Structure 1
Amino acid sequence: MRHLRELAFILCMFCVVEVAAAQPAGQAADDSALTSKVKAALASDRAVNGRDIEVETRDGIVQLSGFVDSEDTRTAAVMRARSVSGVAEVRNDLSIRMDDRPAKGPASDTVIAARVRDKLGNVKLADDSDVNVEVSEGVVQLSGFVTTDEEKVQAGDAAATVAGVRDVENHIALLDGNERQRNE
């Protein structure tokens, strides 16, 4: 029964991708369709638990972030993403879960993630900036895209001040000037 639901989900994802790809709505729609294709490809691969991987796409460049259990899973995810038609480049910002980091305080990952997102709301980011937050065992991973080094540093600093955060991995990418002009 579970496999039947997964198969139905994957088929639905491909239908959504085909509909999105057929619409001439510009680069944002293309990136959205490509993100959906990559997510579907990751979900269909038994070696990769695609639900734990965040996928972000800008101008055909796919960024994978989040936490995986092993180097093999990390490699499989990158290879699977590269195999998707239309992917120009894959940025591998996946981290391997570490169980040996000492905790600074007891807080669930969900609570920490909410607190970090709240703190990031106080950081002045450009309109076309987009920061994602993933937390595993108190380790915060920041990914996405910002326009300046200062924004990247401010986001990392804000996350580090949240109670319960044991470490911050800042994988935020910088948009170059050409990408900003296309997004305006």
Structure 2
Amino acid sequence: MRHLRELTLIVCLFCVIPAAAAAAQDTQAVSDTALTAKVKSALAADSAVKAKDIEVETRDGIVQLSGFVESDDAISAAVLRARSVNGVDEVRNDLVVRNEDRPAQQPVSDTVIAARVRSSLGNVEMDDESDVNVEVSAGVVQLSGFVTSVEEKARAGDAASAVPGVRDVENNIALTEEQEREPQE
């Protein structure tokens, strides 16, 4: 009889622990969603920031700002506003100043732009484990794949945005799991 009780207790623990872990993950997801909404609201309330141009993503209390803005002042205002939101542990700034100084050119085909971006990325210093994919649609470049550092991601985005014919860059490059687990300084 004693063994039956112990076995019942062990089975219950195996059922309760995963359920508690799943509930904690759901709470974190709701928390991150709520934090994203608070940051978007804070950005919208700041006249120095064009919130519609800024993408906000949150993971474990870390807020990522990405997109194109008009000036360095707009970047500073957005970062400061995001940091001011209660519950934000860290702000990752992936905002880029829009470059409108390019001379007018004939439209360039997406295939040519993709080839130029891939060539430009070949000149960017990246770790051997990094892998960046390039897709182009109507002059908008979408970068995806994985890199080992935030700096590599920024360099890839900068290189793509400097290519003639590129209208915009969506930098969806993710960090490798090892980098995401390391504590940020």
Q: TM-score, normalised by structure 1?
A: 0.51
- Cα RMSD between the aligned structures? 4.2
Aligned length: 125
Contact 1:147/1:176 (8 A) holds in 2: no
Residue in structure 2 matched with residue 92 of structure 1 by the alignment = 93
Residue in structure 1 matched with residue 45 of structure 2 by the alignment = 44
Higher relative contact order (CA 8 A, sep 6+): 1
Q: Deviations over 1:56-88 (max 9, x none)?
A: 111111110001101111100000000001111
Once structures 1 and 2 are overlaid, which stretch shifts more, 85-94 or 171-180? 171-180
Instruction: Give the counterpart letter for 1:43 in structure 2.
Output: A
- In the alignment, the residues of structure 1 paired with residue 46 and residue 143 of structure 2 have an alpha-carbon distance, to the nearest angstrom, of 25
Deviation of 1:27 (Å): 1.5
Instruction: Give the counterpart letter for 2:33 in structure 1.
Output: S
The runs of 5 or more residues in structure 2 that have no matched partner are: 1-22, 115-134
Residue in structure 1 matched with residue 72 of structure 2 by the alignment = 71
- Of structures 1 and 2, the larger Rg is shown by 2
- In the alignment, the residues of structure 1 paired with residue 176 and residue 105 of structure 2 have an alpha-carbon distance, to the nearest angstrom, of 33
- In the alignment, the residues of structure 1 paired with residue 95 and residue 49 of structure 2 have an alpha-carbon distance, to the nearest angstrom, of 12
- In the alignment, the residues of structure 1 paired with residue 45 and residue 167 of structure 2 have an alpha-carbon distance, to the nearest angstrom, of 33
Q: 1:47 to 1:166 in 2, by over 3 A?
A: closer
Match runs of 1:146-161 below 5 Å: none
Q: Deviations over 1:123-175 (max 9, x none)?
A: xxxxxxxxxx9x9x9564658xx6665xx8xx98xx89xxx536757463415
Q: Deviations over 1:22-60 (max 9, x none)?
A: x97321111111110100000011111111100011111
Identical aligned residues as a percent: 64
1:53 aligns with 2:89: no
Match runs of 1:112-131 below 5 Å: none
Residue in structure 2 matched with residue 80 of structure 1 by the alignment = 81
Contact 1:67/1:95 (8 A) holds in 2: yes
- In the alignment, the residues of structure 1 paired with residue 50 and residue 29 of structure 2 have an alpha-carbon distance, to the nearest angstrom, of 26
- In the alignment, the residues of structure 1 paired with residue 142 and residue 78 of structure 2 have an alpha-carbon distance, to the nearest angstrom, of 17
Instruction: Give the counterpart letter for 1:172 in structure 2.
Output: I
Residue in structure 2 matched with residue 125 of structure 1 by the alignment = none
The runs of 5 or more residues in structure 1 that have no matched partner are: 1-22, 117-132
* SS of equivalent residue, structure 2 residue 58: strand
Residue in structure 1 matched with residue 32 of structure 2 by the alignment = 31
